[in-house]
């Protein structure tokens, strides 16, 4: 029985001698990977279901989505996985390593004819070397870790035959963008796709990785390249291992065979929102950009870095444009350093980060802001995927050229002088209507939250993971959620409540949110023995009433949590309406009262 590449791989990893499309078989998995994105859920599924890792030697963690550990939740998940790995003798490619799929190829964890699964939707990048790779969900990966195999339905196979000569200015990224223009996001949906022709045989490993990595965007199960001597030699140089070639049988049966004239291909862009919504670079020539990104599992290889460096050498990134560059693995990063590529990037004005996925999954670098126009070598430009702006996908050459020009252009059309930004007009000074004068109360009354703890810092009050919030209305829900014992404060506090605490309240950072969260909740005032210096200024300037008292004065009040207080800002008289006792604390000083009545410093 003649078999396609995918059929050969699945049959050799199952109990079947032959398989055919739509057969459902258990497939033995050679390498089983969980990333920092999803890894913690894989561990949780293992632990919660009382499972055991079947073969630690075939089981791997890769921390590539957020290799800086800069996000609190990523950092927590990564460390949770590290602890599990230590107890179960599992290899961890930590935040200094790079993209997991690329590491698997470099380290010989995959080979032609092997099987690989990961919590990475681009695990089918393994098709670049003729390996069957699949992205799977947390439960699938947990089951594979515990059993060593997973069920899979054998897909139908499609054959693409490339005819003609590839134009010199067409890169591997342009090839796959042209294919997306032909097949869209669903014409190859669910198929295993094999690529053939002289132009395919000539592709390097890095180029094959670029094309294979966008099989997911085409809807394909995988884009599979048959083995060539060139690729086997490259794999041996990387991993130190010699692998056997893998090809489909002659006369293997395909659902469809497409003849493609590669000589018609041109440098392409994917327009913002959809990788398959394409136009030529020439059609968008001159479109102003704000930022550029070179990297990802699609274009973070050494050849990509060399192409970018050849364009950036002796040039500068256009004024106001931000260029971010992220090599795929640490070995590639080191190679860039040895070849002087890093120096070229830095002299050009690029930001270079450590190896990893970069903009995907809101990790590391590569995100953009609202209305920001970005040129990217990534594989996805779905709305919100790489930020809230607009993302064009293109080759490293086009992205580098555009970063220098300040607008979309090709390497052969870089101007002598870059484009400059013009005034947007959005921030011109406008007449603001005078606010109605409101007499703010100088006497308040409310229930007490008596927190007997010194040095409550701004991270306890309003944690740094919420610092991107700018709307005061959204801040209140996070007040004290990092203060032990008061994590539910925001749910239980009532308007006009009063917070009473001890020394150095608001120590730490300058974040205004640590004040504004109480304004958001309607807290009427804060009374403390002392405040952090910056916190005190922030509170006064925001018209958040704060007062100070002398040691032992709260004892004189007989104050207990839940008592009702009446506080006079002007005189400093504090009355405990529950106990009937009163004291005189430090009142507002004149400038504080003036700012308070003004509704704030501004």
Residue 546, SS3 per DSSP: strand
Phi, psi of 384 (to 5 degrees): 85, -10
Give the Cα separation of 400 and 408 in Å (integer).
Answer: 10
Q: Is there a single domain that holds both residue 342 and residue 474?
A: no
Q: Could you tell me if residue 427 is inside a domain? A: no
Q: Could you tell me if residue 531 is inside a domain? A: yes
Q: Could you tell me if residue 437 is inside a domain? A: no
3-state per-residue secondary structure call for 155-172: CCEEEEEEECCCCCCCCH
Which distant-in-sequence residues (6+ apart) come within 8 Å of 233 by Cβ?
Answer: none
Q: Could you tell me if residue 72 is inside a domain? A: yes
Phi, psi of 387 (to 5 degrees): 125, -170
Alpha carbon 455 to its chain centroid, in Å, reads 34
Question: Helices 302-312 and 330-338: crossing angle, nearest 10°?
Answer: 40
Average pLDDT, stretch 78-99?
Answer: 95
Q: Which residues of 516-534 are buried (b: 16+ CB within 10 A; e: fewer)?
A: bbbbbbebbbbbbbbbbeb
pLDDT at 438 over 80: no
CB 163 within 8 A of CB 262: yes
pLDDT of residue 67: 82
Gyration radius of the chain's alpha carbons:
30
pLDDT of residue 361: 63
pLDDT at 474 over 90: yes
Q: Is there a single domain that holds both residue 471 and residue 550?
A: yes
3-state per-residue secondary structure call for 61-85: EECCCCCCCCCHHHHHHHHHHHHHH
What percent of the chain lies above the pLDDT cut of 90?
Answer: 86
Q: Could you tell me if residue 590 is inside a domain? A: yes
Q: Is there a single domain that holds both residue 251 and residue 341?
A: no
Give the Cα separation of 389 and 381 in Å (integer).
Answer: 10
pLDDT of residue 363: 65
Place of tokens 């033995």: 28
Output the CA–CA distances (angstroms, integers) from residue 85 to 48, 54, 60, 75, in the order listed.
16, 13, 9, 15
Phi, psi of 485 (to 5 degrees): 90, -10
Question: 361-411 pLDDT, tens per residue?
Answer: 666 786 888 899 999 999 888 877 777 889 999 999 999 999 999 999 999
Q: Could you tell me if residue 419 is inside a domain? A: no
Per DSSP, which regions of 296-340 are E strands? 322-326
pLDDT of residue 72: 77
The answer to whether the predicted template modeling score (pTM) of the entire model surpasses 0.85 is no
What percent of the chain lies above the pLDDT cut of 70?
Answer: 99
pLDDT of residue 259: 97
Closest CA to 312 of 285, 279, 353, 352: 352
Residue 390, SS3 per DSSP: strand
Q: Quick count: other Cβ atoms within 10 Å of Cβ 359?
A: 26
CB 527 within 8 A of CB 574: yes
Tokens coding 433: 């209507």
**Terminus-to-terminus CA distance in the chain, angstroms?**
81
CB 496 within 8 A of CB 444: yes
Give the Cα separation of 446 and 495 in Å (integer).
Answer: 8
CB 150 within 8 A of CB 167: no
Q: What is the number of domains present in the chain?
A: 3
Mean pLDDT of the chain: 94
pLDDT level of residue 428 (50, 70, 90 thresholds): confident
Alpha carbon 37 to its chain centroid, in Å, reads 9
For the ranges 279-293, 384-398, 421-435, 441-455, the lowest mean pLDDT is seen at 421-435
Place of tokens 């709305």: 383
Give the Cα separation of 460 and 287 in Å (integer).
Answer: 46
pLDDT of residue 191: 96
Question: Helices 341-348 and 302-312: crossing angle, nearest 10°?
Answer: 50
pLDDT of residue 362: 63
Question: 59-83 pLDDT, tens per residue?
Answer: 999 998 888 767 778 888 999 999 9
Q: Is there a single domain that holds both residue 406 and residue 463?
A: no
DSSP code of 38?
T
- Helical spans, DSSP H, in 360-445: 396-405
Domain range for 524: 443-598
Give the Cα separation of 46 and 81 in Å (integer).
Answer: 12
Phi, psi of 191 (to 5 degrees): -95, 150
Question: 133-156 pLDDT, tens per residue?
Answer: 999 999 999 999 999 999 999 999
Closest CA to 74 of 38, 102, 43, 103: 38
In CATH, what number is assigned to the domain containing residue 492? 3.20.19.10
Dihedral, 32, 33, 39, 45 alpha carbons, nearest 10: 0
Give the Cα separation of 374 and 393 in Å (integer).
Answer: 9
3-state per-residue secondary structure call for 436-483: CCCCCCCEEEEEEEEECCCCCEHHHHCCHHHCCCCCHHHHHHHCCCCC
Q: How would you classify the pairing of strands 443-451 and 498-501?
A: parallel
Phi, psi of 195 (to 5 degrees): -115, 135
Residue 228, SS3 per DSSP: coil
Last residue of a domain, one of 240, 263, 286: 263
Q: Is there a single domain that holds both residue 233 and residue 88?
A: yes
Q: Is there a single domain that holds both residue 583 and residue 485?
A: yes
CB 161 within 8 A of CB 257: yes
Q: Is there a single domain that holds both residue 252 and residue 275?
A: no
In CATH, what number is assigned to the domain containing residue 332? 3.30.499.10
Q: Is there a single domain that holds both residue 504 and residue 523?
A: yes
Q: Is there a single domain that holds both residue 189 and residue 281?
A: no
Last residue of a domain, one of 372, 398, 413: 413
Average pLDDT, stretch 225-229?
Answer: 93
Q: Is there a single domain that holds both residue 67 and residue 186?
A: yes
pLDDT level of residue 449 (50, 70, 90 thresholds): very high
Average pLDDT, stretch 470-496?
Answer: 96
Q: Could you tell me if residue 434 is inside a domain? A: no
Q: Could you tell me if residue 386 is inside a domain? A: yes
Give the Cα separation of 462 and 513 in Å (integer).
Answer: 7
pLDDT of residue 1: 76
Q: Is there a single domain that holds both residue 373 and residue 461?
A: no
Question: 521-564 pLDDT, tens per residue?
Answer: 999 999 999 999 999 999 999 999 999 999 999 999 999 999 99
Give the Cα separation of 556 and 554 in Å (integer).
Answer: 5
pLDDT level of residue 500 (50, 70, 90 thresholds): very high
pLDDT of residue 106: 94
Q: Is there a single domain that holds both residue 454 and residue 575?
A: yes
């Amino acid at each position: 029985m003649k078999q396609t590449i995918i059929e050969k791989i699945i049959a050799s990893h199952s109990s079947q001698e032959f398989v055919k499309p739509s057969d459902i078989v258990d497939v033995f998995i050679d390498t089983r990977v969980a990333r920092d994105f999803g890894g913690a859920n894989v561990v949780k599924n293992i632990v919660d279901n009382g499972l055991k890792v079947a073969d630690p030697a075939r089981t791997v963690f890769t921390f590539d989505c957020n290799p800086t550990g800069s996000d609190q939740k990523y950092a927590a998940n990564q460390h949770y996985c590290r602890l599990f790995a230590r107890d179960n003798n599992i290899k961890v490619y930590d935040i200094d390593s790079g993209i997991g799929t690329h590491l698997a190829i470099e380290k010989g964890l995959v080979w032609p004819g092997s099987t690989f699964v990961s919590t990475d939707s681009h695990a089918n990048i393994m098709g670049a070397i003729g390996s069957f790779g699949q992205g799977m969900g947390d439960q699938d990966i947990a089951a594979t870790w515990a059993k060593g195999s997973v069920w899979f339905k054998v897909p139908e196979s499609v054959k693409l035959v490339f005819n003609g000569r590839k134009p010199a200015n067409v890169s591997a990224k342009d090839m796959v963008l042209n294919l997306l223009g032909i097949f869209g996001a669903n014409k190859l949906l669910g198929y295993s796709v094999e690529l053939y022709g002289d132009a395919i045989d000539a592709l390097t490993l890095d180029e094959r990785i670029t094309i294979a990595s966008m099989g997911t965007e085409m809807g394909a199960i995988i884009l599979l390249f048959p083995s060539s001597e060139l690729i086997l030699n490259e794999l041996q140089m990387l991993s130190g291992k010699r692998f056997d070639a893998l090809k489909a049988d002659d006369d293997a049966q395909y659902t469809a065979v497409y003849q493609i004239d590669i000589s018609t291909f041109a440098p392409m862009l994917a327009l913002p929102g959809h990788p398959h919504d394409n136009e030529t670079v020439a059609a968008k020539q001159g479109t102003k950009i704000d930022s550029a990104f070179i990297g990802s599992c699609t274009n973070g290889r050494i050849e990509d870095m060399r192409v970018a460096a050849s364009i950036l050498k002796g040039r500068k990134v256009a004024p106001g444009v931000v260029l971010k560059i992220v090599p795929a693995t640490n070995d590639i990063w080191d190679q860039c350093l040895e070849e002087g590529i890093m120096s070229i990037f830095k002299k050009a004005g690029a930001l270079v980060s450590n190896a990893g996925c970069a903009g995907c999954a809101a990790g590391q670098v590569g995100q953009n802001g609202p209305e920001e126009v970005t040129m990217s070598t990534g594989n996805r430009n779905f709305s919100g995927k790489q930020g809230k702006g607009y993302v064009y996908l293109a080759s490293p050459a086009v992205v580098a050229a555009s970063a220098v020009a300040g607008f979309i252009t090709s390497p052969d059309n870089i101007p002598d002088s870059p484009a400059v930004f013009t005034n947007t007009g959005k921030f011109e000074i406008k007449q603001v209507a005078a606010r109605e004068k409101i007499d703010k109360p100088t006497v308040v009354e409310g229930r007490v939250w008596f927190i007997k703890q010194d040095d409550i810092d701004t991270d306890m009050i309003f944690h740094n993971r919420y610092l991107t919030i700018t709307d005061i209305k959204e801040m209140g829900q996070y007040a004290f959620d990092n203060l032990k014992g008061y994590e539910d404060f925001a749910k239980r506090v009532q308007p006009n409540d009063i917070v009473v605490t001890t020394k150095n309240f608001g120590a730490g950072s300058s974040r205004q949110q640590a004040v504004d969260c109480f304004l958001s909740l309607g807290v009427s005032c804060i009374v403390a023995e002392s405040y952090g210096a910056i916190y005190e200024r922030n509170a006064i300037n925001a018209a958040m009433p704060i007062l100070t008292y002398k040691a032992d004065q709260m004892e004189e009040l007989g104050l207990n949590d839940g008592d009702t207080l009446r506080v006079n800002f002007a005189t400093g008289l504090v009355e405990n309406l529950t106990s009937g006792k009163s004291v005189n604390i430090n009142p507002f000083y004149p400038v504080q009262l003036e700012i308070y009545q003004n509704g704030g410093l501004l």
